[in-house]
Structure 1
């Protein structure tokens, strides 16, 4: 039997989401529109899982004409666009670009992301991300994401493991793999928890956005293939 949501926070967040009057929440049979900024490993993997679940997905890059093969591999629910088109398209936006791109993403699309439910899947690495990595080391990734995605309803998720782990474990038999998530907006957290479930995992709501540092790359909570109960215990989530 697959495990349940670890925390009572999940049930409270789901209730808050329904109460918020979201058009998507009010129609359980209605697929979501998900814009994905970035067409790499995370975007392609998670986007493919959502497309198979029946959601409409737009993957994006500055050269969407180069995404024909990826879109075909994701199936009929997927399409390609520019980042601006993906952001406008999505009820929810997944950010799946290298973390060094966040300052430019903010400059180019920050206004369009304001008020959106944004799944922040990025991680900062020293070799790749330079000055932005230094910011993360000083302030924590939750604070830096909040800086560059200011005004968005940010939920950190799909960043606690390598994309290959997600691809291998989605919809696995037995207890599902846990996906930790953290955010300050109850409605956004509930939206993302629902999408995590439909991608084939169990959401573990860790708490507010500041708690995202507990499962960021380099933290003790990163890189584990755990059930929801195991993940909740590791991350200190009360049942």
Structure 2
């Protein structure tokens, strides 16, 4: 057993996997970089990708050998799980260019359309919901909406404390992928709050009650009117 099958199996009983996971982060800026660093500290092998690779190499050098740098194409090939944290307008090109390497892999989407920019893509996202639009752009993947509604500072703060952990809303139509992502949320020192299927992600997209709530898991569940321990 290898790749996604072994990862899914490892999380099936809600326990941590025996070995480190290979994770790619495309868009290693404020949010992506914060999450990626915490995954490295949790013991995972993480490849960071951004437009300024030389600068990024210098920044992640203190993280040790589990942190590497690559182009988006190299990152998609390397990883079994990929987080996208890029400007929303970059998703169509990246989704098309990386389609063959992303096929069948768990993909976390933390990208949000601009609040002010108006173009065909943002109009589609507003009409059809962001998650559904992103899933179309990342077709063929095991798509999970995650880390899109929280700030990097809130994630860092949660990782440094023992109580009142940050609630991170996540949603997907792929239950096994959702279970994996839930464990990865725990690995950055936060608490996964599963809202339900992908359609439920609307409650934490921009304009929804869960967007940038940046509160603890219990408060977030109450805000979203979810049962306890989701």
Query: Structure 2 length as normaliser, TM-score?
Result: 0.88
1:67 paired residue among 35, 50, 56: 56
Superposition misfits of 4+ residues, deviation over 4 angstroms: none
Structure 1: any 5+ residue segments left out of the alignment? 1-19
Aligned residues: 220
1:22 — aligned with what? Answer: 6
Number of the residue aligned with 1:87: 76
Q: Quick one: distance in 1 between partners of 2:64 and 2:113?
A: 31
| TM-score under structure 1 length normalisation | 0.85
CA pair 92-106 structure 1, distance change in 2 beyond 3 A: same
Partner of 1:133: 122
CA distance, structure 2, for counterparts of residue 129 and residue 190 of structure 1? 35
Q: Within 1, Cα distance between the matches of 2:44 and 2:117? A: 32
Higher RCO (CA < 8 A, seq sep 6+): 1
User: Gapped runs of 5+ residues in structure 2?
Assistant: 11-15
Helix, strand or coil: the match of 2:98?
Answer: helix
What CA distance in whole angstroms lies between the structure 2 residues aligned with 1:126 and 1:221? 16
Q: Aligned residue for 1:193?
A: 182
Query: C-alpha root-mean-square deviation of aligned residues, in Å?
Result: 1.9
**Cα drift, residue 161 of structure 1:** 2.0
Measured against aligned partners, the alpha-carbon deviations of 1:33-71 in whole angstroms (never above 9, x if no partner) come to 101111211111000010111111001135533421222
User: Aligned pair in 2 of structure 1 residues 153, 139: CA closer, same or farther (>3 Å)?
Assistant: same
Please tell me whether the aligned partners of residues 100 and 130 of structure 1 are also in contact (alpha carbons under 8 angstroms).
no
Of the three residues 20, 24, 27, the one matched with 1:35 is 24
Question: Judging changes above 3 Å, is the alpha-carbon distance between structure 1 residues 151 and 225 closer, same or farther for their aligned structure 2 residues?
Answer: same
